[in-house]
Amino acid sequence: MILLFRRLATTWSVPVPILAVAVLALAWGRALPPVVVVIAAVFLAASVLAAVHHAEVIAHRVGEPFGSLVLAVAVTVIEVALIISLTASGGPAASSLARDTVFAAVMITCNGIVGLSLLVAALRRRVAVFNAEGTGGALATVATLSTLSLVLPTFTTSRPGPAFTPAQLAFAALASITLYGLFVLTQTLRHRDYFLPVEPGGQGEDAAGHADPPTTRAAAASLALLLSALIAVVGLAKIESPAIETAVRAASLPQSAVGVVIALLVLLPETLAAVRAARRARVQVSLNLAFGSAMASIGLTIPTIAVASLWLKGPLLLGLGPTHIVLLGLTVVVATLTVVPGRATLLQAGVHLTLFAAFLLLAASP
């Protein structure tokens, strides 16, 4: 039965990304009837599942933490490209798009994905076990990048509004890419053992399972299909955005809720991959995905948007408002208390999910 399921998963996961990219190409830039919108939504969901499958194939081949790093970086690179294209074509209304997207990614990953992963692991084994050294370093990097890029612009005085001067933006971009590069170096080379899964008995574990790893050719094919699936996820999420905007207006929700919904769709592959890892008692993989995605979102978006600001017109608003600063600060404090012991229970999962629910509520009702 297990072999049959894997064979079916391999079979459907190959054509889905290709067909989804074809649907994206045919539908991009056109006014779509409701039937096509529904078809696009179906391929969006299927692409998310296909992306998770191919990410697991790659992770099985290259091992951790390289597997989670591939998924996090691939999603973020495509997401950054989408942000740049929307900012370039959105006019003054898109001046805060990068800030809103990055902040939503941080809250979704650090509270939503972390909370779900700890919940699943704690329900199955009472205590979720992970490596405090690696996770603590990742959290410290996320907290530093978030503060430098999203909090400081609110309090600087050289330029009116929550915006950096060119020199300040250049420093934030350089600091972001440098810290992210240092983290990747630490995670993959110098202290790779800090980011390996931990068994309840306390021993690090670097195997993805008892099955033989896929061949290099199969892993390369999965990498290509993973990128195709992620392009489809982000592109189809953009195609679905007019329908989302219509639903948001009908529900009398603020415009910022649209960005949150799109961010939730884009981060679905990481969410599903993290939950599946937590079900296998590989909580460290889940946390690698969560904090790695948050870090990549900041570390790659801010430098890219800084370079793009040389030709983009209009202001670039990066500073958060008071409500979001409070949420971000509380998230950092709570995450620190969760990470330090290297063990978490249902209580910590509930706290993170409560913060995530508060973020969603305030996005719908500021």
Q: Which two tokens stand for residue 220?
A: 């390369």
Tell me how crowded residue 49 is: count the other CB atoms within 10 A of its CB: 17
Contact indicator for 234, 82 with CB cutoff of 8 Å: yes
Q: Up-side HSE of residue 281: CA atoms within 13 Å toward CB?
A: 16
In this prediction, residue 87 carries a pLDDT of: 66
Q: Are strands 343-344 and 128-129 parallel, antiparallel or unpaired?
A: antiparallel
In this prediction, residue 199 carries a pLDDT of: 65
What is d(CA 246, CA 213) in angstroms, rounded to the nearest whole number?
A: 46
Q: Which two tokens stand for residue 71?
A: 């998924």
- DSSP secondary structure string for all residues of 220-280: HHHHHHHHHHHHHHHHHHHHHHHHHHHHHHHTT--THHHHHHHHHHHTHHHHHHHHHHHHT
75: nearest Cα among 257, 264, 287, 296: 296
Residues contacting 151, CB < 8 A, separation 6+: 319, 320, 325, 328
Contact indicator for 99, 318 with CB cutoff of 8 Å: yes
In this prediction, residue 147 carries a pLDDT of: 95
What is d(CA 112, CA 278) in angstroms, rounded to the nearest whole number?
A: 14
The overall longest dimension of the chain from CA atoms, in Å, is 65
Residue range 52-65, pLDDT digits in tens: 777 777 777 776 67
CATH, range 2-364:
1.20.1420.30
Residues contacting 99, CB < 8 A, separation 6+: 150, 162, 317, 318, 319, 320
Q: Up-side HSE of residue 260: CA atoms within 13 Å toward CB?
A: 20
Residues contacting 162, CB < 8 A, separation 6+: 99, 153, 154, 317, 318, 319, 320, 321
Q: CA angle, 141 as apex, 136 and 147 as ends, to 5°?
A: 125
53: nearest Cα among 17, 21, 1, 24: 17
**103, exposed or middle or buried, with CB in 10 Å at 0-12, 13-18, 19+?**
buried
The separation between CA 281 and the C-alpha centre of its own chain, rounded to angstroms, equals 21
Preceding amide of 341 cis, omega within 30: no
What are the structural domain ranges in the chain? 2-364
Q: Which two tokens stand for residue 252?
A: 């009398």
Q: For the whole model, what pTM was predicted?
A: 0.80
DSSP code of residue 193: G
Residue range 100-114, pLDDT digits in tens: 888 998 999 999 999
Q: Hey, CA dihedral for 107, 111, 116, 121, is it positive or negative?
A: positive
Residue ranges of the chain whose pLDDT lies below 70: 1-10, 63-64, 67, 78, 82, 85-94, 199-212, 241, 245, 255-256, 258-259
Strand partners, 198: 204
